[in-house]
Amino acid sequence: MESIWTMTADIQKRESLKEDITTDTAVIGGGMAGLLIASFLQKKGIQAVVLEAARIGSGQTKNTTAKISLQHGLIYHKLIEEAGEKKAKLYAEANRRAIAEYRNIINQKQISCEFRECSAYLYSLEETEPLKKEEEAAKSLGICAELTTKTELPFEVLSALKFYDQAVFHPLLFLKRIAEDLTIYEDTKVLTVERTEEENKVVTNHGVVRAKNVVFAAHYPFINVPGYYFLRMHQERSYVIALTNTKQMDNIYYGIDKEGLSFRKSGDYLLLGGGNHRTGENTGGGKYQKLYMAAEKWFPGCKEITRFSAQDCMPLDNIPYIGQFSTSTPDWYVATGFKKWGMTSSMVSAMIISDLILKGKSPYEEVFGPQRFDLQASAANLAEEGTQSVKGLSKGVFSTTPKCTHMGCALEWNPDEVSWDCPCHGSRFSSDGKVIDNPAIEDLSGE
Residue pLDDT, tens place only, 150-196? 999 999 999 999 999 999 999 999 999 999 999 999 999 999 999 98
pLDDT tens for the chain, 447 residues: list them: 799 999 999 999 999 999 999 999 999 999 999 999 999 999 999 999 999 999 999 999 999 999 999 999 999 999 999 999 999 999 999 999 999 999 999 999 999 999 999 999 999 999 999 999 999 999 999 999 999 999 999 999 999 999 999 999 999 999 999 999 999 999 999 999 999 888 999 999 999 999 999 999 999 999 999 999 999 999 999 999 999 999 889 999 999 999 999 999 999 999 999 999 999 999 899 999 999 999 999 999 999 999 999 999 999 999 999 999 999 999 999 999 999 999 999 999 999 999 999 999 999 999 999 999 764 555 555 556 556 555 555 554 445 689 999 999 999 999 999 999 999 999 999 999 999 999 999 999 854
Q: CA–CA separation, 226 vs 23, rounded Å?
A: 23
Predicted pLDDT at 447: 46
Q: How many CA atoms are closer than 13 Å to the CA of 445, on its beta-carbon side?
A: 8
Domain ranges, ordered by start, for the chain:
4-64+173-231+318-375
**Cβ 255 vs Cβ 123: under 8 Å:** yes
Predicted pLDDT at 343: 98
**What are φ and ψ of residue 116, in 5° steps?**
-145, 130
Q: What is the mean pLDDT of the chain?
A: 94
Q: CB within 8 A of 199, min separation 6: which ones?
A: 210, 211, 212
Predicted pLDDT at 197: 84
Domain at 4-64+173-231+318-375, CATH from 3.50.50.60, 2.60.40.10, 2.60.120.10, 3.40.50.300: 3.50.50.60
Paired with 324 in beta bridges are: 333
